[in-house]
Structure 1
Amino acid sequence: MTDMMWTDYRHKIAGALGIPAEDQYETQFKEAFRTAVRSAKSEVLEVVKSQFDSYLTEDLSVEPIDYNIGRVDISDDVIDMIADNLDPEGSGSSRNSLYLAGEIVSRLPVSLYLEPEFKTAAAPFLKFDVTVDATKEINEIEESEDTRLYAESLRQLVDNAAINIPVTLEKYYPGRGFETDKPQIEIKLHLIKHGGLKLDI
């Protein structure tokens, strides 16, 4: 940590240490930094904390998550029963509607901004955004117009769709650790249906 503070942040913390940031003061800087941290010198620790809060968001990026959902094991009869009774897109009605919802459990010490996009080989058909707060045990994906499914998008969802999730790191919490014995992030999705179903008897 001392080496990283010298390499990446010495110009921001040198004033709090009272040591110049020029190369010839590297040894004195590192000794002063170690002494300040061990003695819990509040001014230095506050500067360090402010730098580490933004460390991940400024210096690191994460590749988007790509996952092939594949064919969902629901019979065509059930899909037809739901899809055929949904209000059409553009109707302005939400009486017979369907939404994607769920929750995200994150054990990462960093808050995230996710933009899931569901797509087929032809084109995307559903996109929304959600913030994953590292201070919350569960982050809800709530039903909204952005997560609404229509007949065609429902059929696309269950028929070999894929999901792409761009990830933006928002805030790192250095006091939190990684739970290596559990998945770092879990996304659980379900459907919420409003209105009736079409039954052919």
Structure 2
Amino acid sequence: MERALVVGHSGGIGAALASALTAQGVAVTGLGRAEGLDVTDEASVAAALGGLEPGFDLVFVATGALVIGARGPEKTLRALDPAALAAQFALNATGPLLVLKHALRLMPRDRACHFAALSARVGSIGDNHLGGWYAYRAAKAALNQLIHTAAIEVARTHPGACLLALHPGTVDTRLTAAHRGSHPAVPPAEAAANLLSVLSRCTASDSGRFVDAQGLTIPW
């Protein structure tokens, strides 16, 4: 791998990914709010990615949020708010797909390349045994479907491309601090190493999968 684009490079996992890739000798381009990129605004995405030259071996979308504004994950239906649901979809589902839409021209057609977006195990419908967290769960489930659907189309023009929805595990970041309870969490650097290891093992034949930090398939 020679070049990588990390969207959301200032966040916990994004920063760790950028650092790990740089240590491997990869030329990393980082984009985020500091560079004027807002993944919920297509004009912003188009402008930020429009100035980049093609040839990225990896495009990694590390954006996302469990709490948006004052709205955290819901425990009951009574707490469901349509505006909060829409905000979750805009950031956690539509945003990564907009990045893919405008990053596709940056990805090589004649060799292997990867596009990855951070998903979450709680977005699995088959693995949902607790309920709650309506908006975040639904947005991540939508992201998984969008990545899977896009993988089918992208294979026609980029046969070497591998698109993945990745669950990083529970990571010790500001996003998880208030909601993980006693659940064990790994440092961002360890999560980044795990995710990069998964990417190194996945090929075009794996495109469209929803996998965890060990590369195991998570049920839809």
TM-score range, shorter chain: under 0.3
When you count helix as a share of all residues, which structure comes out higher? 2
Name the structure, 1 or 2, with higher relative contact order (CA <8 Å, separation 6+). 1
TM-score, L = length of structure 2: 0.21
Structure whose alpha-carbon radius of gyration is higher: 1
TM-score, L = length of structure 1: 0.22
